[in-house]
Amino acid sequence: MLVLEKNSITEELEALVKEHGTERSALMPILQAVQRKHRYIPDFAQQEIARLLDIHPVEVYSVISFYSFLHSEPQGRNIVRLCRTIVCDLAGKDEVENAIKRELKINAGETTKDKKITLEHTNCLGMCDQGPAMMVNDKIFCKLTPEKAVEIIKNIK
Ligand code: FES
């Protein structure tokens, strides 16, 4: 698990506040910067952001919970996002998802024990005519079958 020194988090956040200011509108860019660097926003960072912006920690947490690209738990080094929107759903997304879950031994929203892969749902990836579709990090895969999806997963394991 990624261990972050509290002092270095505070220093990092103070620099971000210097860059983005202390207005309420600074919250999102600060959260995105922390997410980008650490792949999640640790509890202590959430408290420090709230202190520095003079807002309640619950407000910080609720923003993190609302946006699927922000996380309060460590994420895997690879993010698998399976489209759950209706067209992919009708094209066999459930079979693909079940095969991936069996292969990784996790459910959607979870990360493998070795922190290599996180499985998530996403909304339409813009490849509806070629579903089921999924995105692995920033690469999109289409016309998935359970076998094809497992093969892709095995290649990143
Ligand atoms: S519905 Fe899945 S890519 Fe559009």
Mutating to test ligand 1, I would choose from 93, 124, 129 the residue with most ligand atoms within 8 A of its C-beta, which is 124
Nearest 10 degrees: CA dihedral of 41, 42, 48, 53? 20
Confidence check: pLDDT of 4 > 80: no
> 90 and 116 share a domain?
yes
**What is the residue range of 45's domain?**
6-66
Choice between 1 and 110, residue whose per-residue pLDDT is larger = 110
Mutating to test ligand 1, I would choose from 87, 93, 129, 142 the residue with most ligand atoms within 8 A of its C-beta, which is 87
What is the average pLDDT across 77-90?
A: 95
Atom of ligand 1 nearest to the CA of 85: 1
**Three-state DSSP state, 136:** strand
Q: Is the CB of 146 under 6 A from ligand 1?
A: no
Nearest C-alpha neighbor of 125 from the set 137, 109, 116, 107 = 137
Q: pLDDT at position 84, please?
A: 95
CATH number of the structural domain spanning residue 124: 3.40.30.10
CA of 128 to the centre of ligand 1 (A): 4
CATH number of the structural domain spanning residue 33: 1.10.10
Cβ partners under 8 Å of residue 141, min gap 6: 133, 134, 135, 148, 149, 152
Q: pLDDT at position 54, please?
A: 97
- Is residue 145 a part of any domain in this protein? yes
The tally of domains found in the chain comes to 2
Under the banding of pLDDT at 50, 70 and 90, the label for residue 42 is very high
Q: Decide if 72 contacts 46 (C-beta within 8 A).
A: yes
User: What is the rounded distance in angstroms from the CA atom of residue 64 to the CA atom of residue 107?
Assistant: 20
- Is residue 73 a part of any domain in this protein? no
